[in-house]
Chain A
C-alpha cells in the first residue's frame, strides 16, 4: 500500500513540486498517474523510491514511513519494489541475462536459483532467444521488456513504472502495458506514470491527475461519489 498524507516537497531552488498532496493506493491496484510536464509526477515517484524526502507530511510505502527511513535501509527497501524507467536504465556492458540476474545478485541469491529464475523471467517477457544480447543490440521495446523482467525477478508486491512507454512506438507501448496488466492480475500493485492518454483510455484503471503539484482528479474518488 502507498499512502501520501499532506505531502509537500519544495526543492532548494524554491520550486514547489508537490503541495499538500494526499492519496492512497491499495494493494493489488493498477493506477495511472497522468499530468503535464512539470506537474509533479516525477517527484511523486522519487518520493515513493526514497530518492527524495518530503519537506512535510508522511509518505508510506509497503507499511514503511520513508521519511524516517535511515539511508542504510534504502537498498533493502528498494529490493522490495520493481522499478521500470522510460530510458530503460540497463547496465550497458551486461547482457540481458546479466542485467536481470543483477537484481537477484544484490540480494545474495544463490547461483543455482539465478540460473533457474532469470531464463524463466526472460521467457515470460518473450526474450528467451536474446538472453546473451547486450542492450545496444536490442530494440527499444526489447530493452524495456528486459527492464520489466528485472523489475519482476524479485517477485515484488509493487511495481513503479515511470513513463515506461515514452521511448517506444505505440504498438509496443500497448504490449508493455498489457504485460503490466497481466502482472497486476497476479496481485502485484502497479503504479504507472504516463503522458499517453490513448493508452490510459484503452485500459480501464484508476487514473490520478496531477497539475501544478496537486491532485486535481482521481477517478476512484469520482466513482465513490457517484455511488
Chain B
C-alpha cells in the first residue's frame, strides 16, 4: 500500500514535468490572480492604516466652567471617560493654556504678558478618541455633562474619516471578494482544460482496473504543487515590488502625495498573512479543483 502511495506521489511530480506547458499555463493564471488579490489587500490595508492615523489625531477640547473645584473637575473627567470612546485625556489648566497660546504666537507672545494676572482662559481637557464614528453624539453627550462650558471638536472631519473608513472596508471586501470569485472561475477553467486534455489517460487507467483514488492521487499532488509554486512566486513578486515601492516613495521629495504614503505599512507586518494566504489558498484551489473536475471523467 505504502509502495503504491510513494509511486503515485512520484507520478504526480513526474506529471508536472511531462505536462509542463499546461503546468506553466496554470501557474501563470494562478500567479496573475494572486498578484491582483495581494495588491488589493495591501492597498486596502494601507488605506485603512492612513485613516486610522488620521482618526488617532482627531481630538476635542472640553472647556470647563470657571467655578469648578477639584472634585467637580474629576467628575467631568469620569463622565468623559464613561463615553467609552476615549483614547487619552489630559488636563490643561488655564495657566498652561495661556503659556501654550503665547508659545504658538512666537515673538508676538509677549503681547499676552499683561494677562498673567487676569487670565480669562478656561481650564480644559484635551481628549483623543479611538473611535470617531458618531463623534457628534459623543460631543453632545460631553457638552451636557454638568460643569462643561463648551466642547470644540472637528465633527465634520470625523464624519469624513468615518465615511472613508467604511468605504475602504466595504469597497475592499467587495473588490477582494470579486477578485477571488473571478480567480476561482479562471483557475477552475484552467484545471478543467488540464484534466480534459488528459481524459484519455484517465480513461485508460479505469479500463486497466485503477480505483478512483489511485487515479486522483497524482492529480492531487500535481494540483497542490502547482498551487504552492504559484503562491511562493506571487509572494516573491509582491515582496520585491512592495519593497521597491517603499524605497521609491522614501526617495521622493516631500510632496503631499509622498507625505500621505510615507507611512506605508512595513511588508514584514503583513508578510506572514500573505504567505499563509497564498500558499494555503493555492494548495486548496489546486486540491479542490482537481478533485472536482476529474470526477466527471472517472465514470467509465
Chain A residues at the B interface, C-beta cutoff of 8 Å:
49, 51, 75-79, 83, 85, 89-93, 102-103, 105-108, 110-111, 150
Contacts and interface: CB of A to CB of B under 8 A. Distances in A.
Interface stretch (B36-44, B181-189, B201-209): B201-209
Contacts of A76: 209
A108 B208 contact: no
6 contacts: A51-B300, A75-B214, A76-B209, A83-B208, A93-B15, A105-B7
A91 B209 contact: no
Nearest to B5: A108
B205 A93 contact: no
Given A51-B300, A91-B201, A111-B3, A106 B208 contact: yes
B83 interface: no
B111 interface: no
Contact of A106 (B3, B211, B300): B211
Most buried by B among A76, A85, A105: A105
B210 interface: yes
Contacts, number: 52
Interface centre among B1, B208, B209 (most CB of A within 10 A): B208
A204 B209 CA distance: 32
Contact of B205 (A49, A77, A83, A102): A102
A76 B209 CA distance: 6
B208 A78 contact: yes
Nearest to A110: B3
Nearest to A104: B208
A103 B200 CA distance: 16
Contacts of A111: 3
Contacts of A89: 200, 203-204, 207
Contacts of A105: 4, 7
Interface in B57-101: none
B173 interface: no
Contacts of A150: 208
A77 B208 CA distance: 10
Interface in B190-244: 200-201, 203-211, 214
A91 B208 CA distance: 11
B18 A75 contact: no
A32 B151 CA distance: 103
Which of B1, B203, B205 is packed against the most chain A CB atoms within 10 Å? B205
Interface in B15-48: 15, 18-19
Contacts of B201: 91-93
Contact of A108 (B4, B19, B205, B300): B4
Contact of A93 (B3, B4, B18, B207): B18
Contacts of B3: 108, 110-111
- Of A83, A90, A93, chain B has the most CB atoms within 10 Å of the CB of A93
Contact of B208 (A51, A92, A103, A110): A103
Nearest to B214: A106
Contacts of A93: 15, 18-19, 201
A49 B207 contact: yes
B207 A78 contact: yes
B36 to A, nearest CB: 33
B15 to A, nearest CB: 8
Given A93-B18, A108-B1, A110-B3, A103 B204 contact: no
Nearest to A89: B204
